[in-house]
Structure 1
Amino acid sequence: MEVLKSRKTLQDFIERQKEMGKKIGFAPTMGALHNGHLSLYEAARSQNDLVISSIFVNPTQFNNIEDLKKYPRDINRDIKILENSGLVDAVYIPEVQDIYPEKAESRHYDFDGLENEMEGKSRPGHFDGVGTVVEELFKQVKPDNAYFGEKDFQQLAIIKKMTEKKGLHINIIGVNIYRAENGLALSSRNQRLTEDRRKDSKIIYETLIKVNDWFRVVSIKEIKDRVKDVFDDQKGMQLEYFLIADENTLKETDFFYKDKSYRAFIVVVVDGVRLIDNMHLD
């Protein structure tokens, strides 16, 4: 596996691969890798000649400087995980100046309102940061296909919108949420939880399963009340928000329409660690 530590090294590598006509699959990460990330590369491996990862903790998508400082970093561990997986041909590990040669700041994007829903309400500018770093990585890596997990479903929708509006000829492919045996969605943030609290947090997935059972059987107001009751009974857990939204617009709904697709979104803070999850509703 090639380890590419500068923009110039990456450019030389990409040029050689493009000259050979290689189809490139790409999945960017912020490191702290786990099996959820590897599931992206597994999907990419089956559809491309070459699979590239990147590891870059993007400063412009953190609203809270303390969150940026706390974000887990162990580059040697991450490289070893990628090497041992046998799924990745190269990993790009840029410095800040490789992504932001002048100043680490976000460009402003219009995502047709997707950025104003859910996470965007409490994290102003977050998705501008996401759009900026992903667009820059796309320009440098020049992938044919790019892979993102559905755990961050709003981010996936935003990247699809950005790619469409910028006229980038890249297929954006969503990959199913990778879950632990107890159903907890894998996340780098989970490393900040104790083993017991990771076990307790399975209640998030179990609640989404119940929501899917209740879907179209009881009203959305009743579903929201039931979800609130579940987490009112959980010690050390705070329900930040739960909502059901149109999968295409991400706008919250209070009524089910037969011709639309819906998804339940939930954020729960467990011992100060913010966990997000979602589920398509059948």
Structure 2
Amino acid sequence: MQVFYDKNSFADYITSQKQLNKTIGLAPTMGALHAGHISLYAEARKENDVVISSIFVNPTQFNNPEDLEKYPRTVEDDIKKLEDSNLVDAVYVPRVEDIYPNGMDRKHYDFGGIENEMEGAARPGHFDGVGTVVEELFLQVQPDNAYFGEKDFQQLKIIEKLVEGLDLNIKIHGVKIHREENGLAMSSRNMRLSKIEKETSALIYKTLKKVNDWFRVISVPEIKTRVEEIFDNEEMDLEYFMIAEESTLKEVDFFSADDDFRAFIVVNVGNVRLIDNLHLD
């Protein structure tokens, strides 16, 4: 496994792979890797000649400077995990100037309105930051396939819109959420949870499974009320819960027969913000 720490040497590597007509699969990350990330590379390995990981904590997608400062940075451990997985051919760990040569300005995108829903409403400018870094990585890596976890389902839909809007010949793959034994969605933020907080956070996925049981049996407003009651007086702060159409991410207050729906939830446990979602079937 090769590791590249600058744009120029990495560009030479990509050129050599393209000259050999090899297909390239990319899964971008911000590091602090866990089994969920590794599952992305397992999927990429099935479909590509070359599998590439990138590790870059992107400043422009953070709204809270304190959140950016606290984000775990474990590059050496991440590289070892990737090497041990035997799934990745190359790791790109760019410098800030490799991604933002003209200063850390976010580009502005029109994602058809989905950028204003849920996380977009809670974190203004967040998806412009995501789009900016992913567009640059796509230009540098030139992947045939790119892999993103469904835990960040809204981000996955944003990337699909990005590729469509830029007319890039890249196939975007969503990979199922990887979970802890207690059901908690794997996230780099989980390492900031105490043991007790991790156990407490299992309630998030348990609640989503209850929502799936209630789906089409009771009304959406009643489901929302029940979810709010579950988190009332708990040691967790329910930031939001909603049910939305998967295609538009628009919140719904009733179900229709022909659409696909997904439940989305954000809960603050201590000072850690946890997100999760579940397709309703």
Q: Place the TM-score, normalised by the shorter chain, in its bin.
A: over 0.9
- Alignment correspondent of 1:245: 244
Matched position secondary structure for 2:73 = coil
- Alignment correspondent of 1:145: 145
Normalised to the residue count of structure 1, the TM-score between the two structures is 0.99
Does structure 1 residue 224 correspond to structure 2 residue 233? no
AA of the residue aligned to 2:240: Y
Measure, in 1, the Cα distance between the counterparts of 2:233 and 2:22.
Answer: 54
Matched position secondary structure for 2:47 = coil
Measure, in 1, the Cα distance between the counterparts of 2:226 and 2:154.
Answer: 24
AA of the residue aligned to 1:162: L
Aligned pairs for 1:22-33 within 5 A: 22-33=22-33
AA of the residue aligned to 2:250: K
AA of the residue aligned to 2:74: D
**Cα drift, residue 197 of structure 1:** 1.1
Measure, in 2, the Cα distance between the counterparts of 1:47 and 1:206.
Answer: 33
Measure, in 2, the Cα distance between the counterparts of 1:118 and 1:88.
Answer: 33
The count of corresponding residues between Structure 1 and Structure 2 is 281
Measure, in 2, the Cα distance between the counterparts of 1:277 and 1:133.
Answer: 23
- Alignment correspondent of 1:273: 272
Aligned pairs for 1:38-117 within 5 A: 38-117=38-117
- Alignment correspondent of 2:213: 213
Measure, in 2, the Cα distance between the counterparts of 1:155 and 1:218.
Answer: 29
Matched position secondary structure for 2:137 = helix
1:237-280, Cα deviation, whole Å (9 max, x unpaired): 00000000000000000010101000000000001110000000
Q: Give percent identity, aligned residues only.
A: 65
1:70-126, Cα deviation, whole Å (9 max, x unpaired): 000011111111111101000000000000001111000000001000001111100
1:182-207, Cα deviation, whole Å (9 max, x unpaired): 11000000000011211111100000
**Cα drift, residue 47 of structure 1:** 0.7
1:11-40, Cα deviation, whole Å (9 max, x unpaired): 100011111111100000000000000000
1:150-193, Cα deviation, whole Å (9 max, x unpaired): 00000000000010010000000000000011110000000000
- Alignment correspondent of 1:261: 260
Matched position secondary structure for 1:54 = strand
**Cα drift, residue 233 of structure 1:** 3.5
- Alignment correspondent of 1:173: 173
Matched position secondary structure for 2:76 = helix
AA of the residue aligned to 1:29: T
AA of the residue aligned to 2:260: S
Matched position secondary structure for 2:26 = strand
- Alignment correspondent of 2:182: 182
CA RMSD of aligned residues (A): 0.5
Measure, in 2, the Cα distance between the counterparts of 1:233 and 1:227.
Answer: 12
